[in-house]
Amino acid sequence: MTTPGGLLLALAVIVPFVGVLAGFTLGGRNAQRVAMVTIVAGLGIAIAVAAAMQRTGGGLVYLLGGWAPPLGIALRADGPALVMMLAVAVVIVGIGVYACADFGTPAGVREARAPLVFWTLLLAIWGALNLVLVSGDLFTLYVALELLTFAAVPLVSLDGKAETLQSALRYLLYALLGSVFYLLGAVLLYGAYGTLDIALLAARIRPGPATLAAAALMTGGLLAKTALVPLHLWLPPAHAGAPAAASAVLSGLVIKGSWFLVVRLWFDVLPGVLTGPSAQLLGALGAAAILLGNVVALRQARLKLLVAYSTVAQIGYLFLMFPLAFGGAALARESALAGGMLQAISHATAKAAMFMAAGLIYKALGHDRIAGLAGVGRALPLCVLTFVLAGVALMGLPPSGAYVAKKLLLGAAAETGQWWWDAVMQAGGLLTASYVVLVLAHALVPGAAAVKPRALVSRLAEAAALALALCSLALGLAAGSAGVPDVLSGALSPAALGGALVLIVGGALVASALADRLPPLPAGGFAAFGRPVRRTTLVVAAALARTDGVLRLWPVAGLSLVALVVAFGAALMARG
């Protein structure tokens, strides 16, 4: 039944699309004006959804056309959908403000290509994401994935260079491969149960050949769209090559769409057929992503590629919640889900801020070579501050959202006795700290001559990036006041502060062991002492980078996708 306030869910999807149609028709500068109005309206709708859920004290439901499932389609919003919807709205607002400096229509032109495409597709991505969050029907979710992909791909090649066109094509082809796998799975489920509605399916689903095949295909397809290692061939070039505002949308938001759908499937449709090994497999891929993504990030010569590889690693974190949630205790499932969602929204805000800061640095210097960052700390202090704050939020230092997320996930790991995920999370924090420290060290080295910015950096854009980074940092406080218990107790205790210090010093050590290019710091005797160690660690790091190169070859990535589907099928059959 439709609940009071249910119409808001339809509005959350439709209003951004109306903005796309209006901006596209009116054209030129109007596209940007329409986007601004729509962004304000969309933020209002997200807040109204939160208020309505507060009032009813539960989820919202809306039956489209008044037709009840299985014949009709229901939109539903639950807690996870709500927090994601709010986070998406906040990040879109930040990106909208930031992009005003880059995507204005130049004077004397009625309409320019990049601004029109950017502003219409930004709204398109928003509507598609909201649909992913609230749709209660597996086929409508497929349509949502298609909307999301078609809106996201053109943003990759906005600058029109040959290499970004190639990245966009690579993204499109691989993402469509993932869609086909998802659709095949949805068709099998419809054939077996005669409904595509998530709530009805959850009540009817039983382990069986069709169900297991569908689960394996859909999971594999969605992982390809999320770029979880080893299916990440398209992500680094696409996210690093796009204009900064577009990278922020792609890295911060778009990949969360398909990730959220995996969460929907596993938590709401498939719990009856999942097995321990399948959840462990998903977690293991996450661990591989954390290791590979972080180490390869450390070895990048360009800042935007470093940030893109950091996304590869952070996607890994998002999948650690699955083995913790399906490891036994029911209580652990709640905290793992809460931790995972919090991780996702911290990453959305922090990564968007990081890409924005990197974009501003690129704009000011005319390049983003990490080895050439000397003196940037003095020339662009606010950008460097934003980058570091976003980095601190990603590392999981208090009071960031990622800190609370880590605590929740560590609690779930202890609850279910899975110590190995504890180790993975700690190592991941250390590796994240390493590249943040590395970039900071390069940026703080005084340059030979004072850096003269080639282009003026918009104050508004700087403020938008900083605001998003601060959002991510303050998320822990918000989670604390929103009833996640005891999350910040002891955040300022000597032990916690010591932990933070260990993380940063450890990060510096890891960076000096694994990074290709170190900043010219006076290290003295320490360097002589560390040289033999560094020789060995560099070999390991180079080997990981080579592995990444092999995994990102087309034949290997295609093979990995199908092999992963087979592996998930096998893991789902292995019930104890």
Partner 1 sequence: MTDAINCGLAILILALAAWTIVARDTFSAVVGFVAYGLLLALVWVQLHGVDVALTEAALGSGLTGALLLYAAARLRATEREARAERPGLPTRVAAALVAACVTVALGIAVLALPDPAPTLAPQTAASIATTGVGNPLTAVLVAFRAMDTLLEAIVVLFALIGVWSLAPDRFWGGRPGTLHHSDPDGVLAYFARVLPPIGVVVGVYIFWVGADFPGGKFQGATLLAAMWLLAVIAGLADTPPIGRTWLRAALVAGPVVFLAVGAAGVAFAGAFLGYPDGYAKPLIKVIEWALFPSLALTLALIVAGAPQRSAP
Which residue from 144, 227, 240, 412 is in contact with partner 1, where contact means CB under 8 A?
144
Over the range 380-405, which residues count as b (16 or more CB within 10 Å of their CB) and which as e? beebbbbbbbbbbbbbbbbbbbbbbb
Query: Which tokens belong to 130?
Result: 């909201």
Nearer to partner 1, 21 or 423 (CB): 21
- x-marked contacts with partner 1 along 113-142 as a string, rule CB under 8 A: xx--x--xx--x------x-------xx--
Binding residues among 19-38 for partner 1 as defined by CB under 8 A: 20-21, 24-27
Which residue from 3, 12, 17, 225 is in contact with partner 1, where contact means CB under 8 A?
17
What is the smallest separation between the CB atom of 191 and partner 1, expressed in angstroms?
5
Instruction: Determine if 562 is a binding residue for partner 1 (CB under 8 A).
Output: yes
Instruction: Determine if 568 is a binding residue for partner 1 (CB under 8 A).
Output: no
List CB contacts of 383: < 8 A, sequence separation 6 or more: 357, 360, 361, 364, 376, 457, 462, 465
What is the smallest separation between the CB atom of 208 and partner 1, expressed in angstroms?
6
Nearer to partner 1, 114 or 329 (CB): 114
User: Are 164 and 157 in contact, with CB atoms under 8 Å apart?
Assistant: yes
Binding residues among 479-518 for partner 1 as defined by CB under 8 A: none
Stretch binding partner 1 (CB under 8 A), from 62-70, 376-384, 412-420, 429-437: 62-70
Nearer to partner 1, 4 or 446 (CB): 4
Reading phi first (left if > 0) and then psi (alpha if -120 to 50, else beta), residue 117 is in alpha
Which residue from 111, 366, 489, 574 is in contact with partner 1, where contact means CB under 8 A?
111
User: Are 88 and 253 in contact, with CB atoms under 8 Å apart?
Assistant: yes
Instruction: Determine if 263 is a binding residue for partner 1 (CB under 8 A).
Output: no
Query: Which tokens belong to 43?
Result: 């933020």
Instruction: Determine if 73 is a binding residue for partner 1 (CB under 8 A).
Output: yes
Instruction: Determine if 53 is a binding residue for partner 1 (CB under 8 A).
Output: no
Instruction: Determine if 207 is a binding residue for partner 1 (CB under 8 A).
Output: no
Stretch binding partner 1 (CB under 8 A), from 79-87, 143-151, 498-506, 520-528: 143-151
What is the smallest separation between the CB atom of 477 and partner 1, expressed in angstroms?
37
Spatial CA neighbour of 436 closest among 506, 349, 541? 506
**HEC sequence for 352-418:** HHHHHHHHHHHHHHCCCEHHHCCCHHHHCHHHHHHHHHHHHHHHCCCCCHHHHHHHHHHHHHHHCCC
Which residue from 4, 208, 272, 549 is in contact with partner 1, where contact means CB under 8 A?
208
User: Are 353 and 472 in contact, with CB atoms under 8 Å apart?
Assistant: yes
Q: Determine the Cα–Cα distance for residues 343 and 360; give it in Å rounded to an integer.
A: 25
What is the smallest separation between the CB atom of 59 and partner 1, expressed in angstroms?
18
Stretch binding partner 1 (CB under 8 A), from 150-158, 225-233, 446-454, 481-489: 150-158
Identity (one letter) of the amino acid at 231?
L
Nearer to partner 1, 527 or 553 (CB): 553
DSSP characters over 17-80: HHHHHHHHHH-THHHHHHHHHHHHHHHHHHHHHHHHHHHHTS-EEEEGGGPPTTTS-EEEE-HH
Instruction: Determine if 366 is a binding residue for partner 1 (CB under 8 A).
Output: no
Instruction: Determine if 330 is a binding residue for partner 1 (CB under 8 A).
Output: no
Binding residues among 153-182 for partner 1 as defined by CB under 8 A: 153-154, 157-158, 160, 165
Positive or negative CA dihedral for 464, 470, 475, 481? Answer: negative
Over the range 522-546, which residues count as b (16 or more CB within 10 Å of their CB) and which as e? eeeeeeeeeeeebeeeeeebeebbe
What is the smallest separation between the CB atom of 111 and partner 1, expressed in angstroms?
6
Instruction: Determine if 63 is a binding residue for partner 1 (CB under 8 A).
Output: yes
Query: Which tokens belong to 266?
Result: 């596993």
Binding residues among 216-255 for partner 1 as defined by CB under 8 A: 216
Which residues of the chain form contacts with partner 1 (CB under 8 A)?
A: 2, 7, 10, 14, 17-18, 20-21, 24-27, 62-67, 70-73, 110-114, 117, 120-121, 124, 131, 139-140, 143-144, 146-147, 150-151, 153-154, 157-158, 160, 165, 184, 188, 191-195, 208-210, 212-214, 216, 555-556, 558-559, 562-563, 565-566, 569
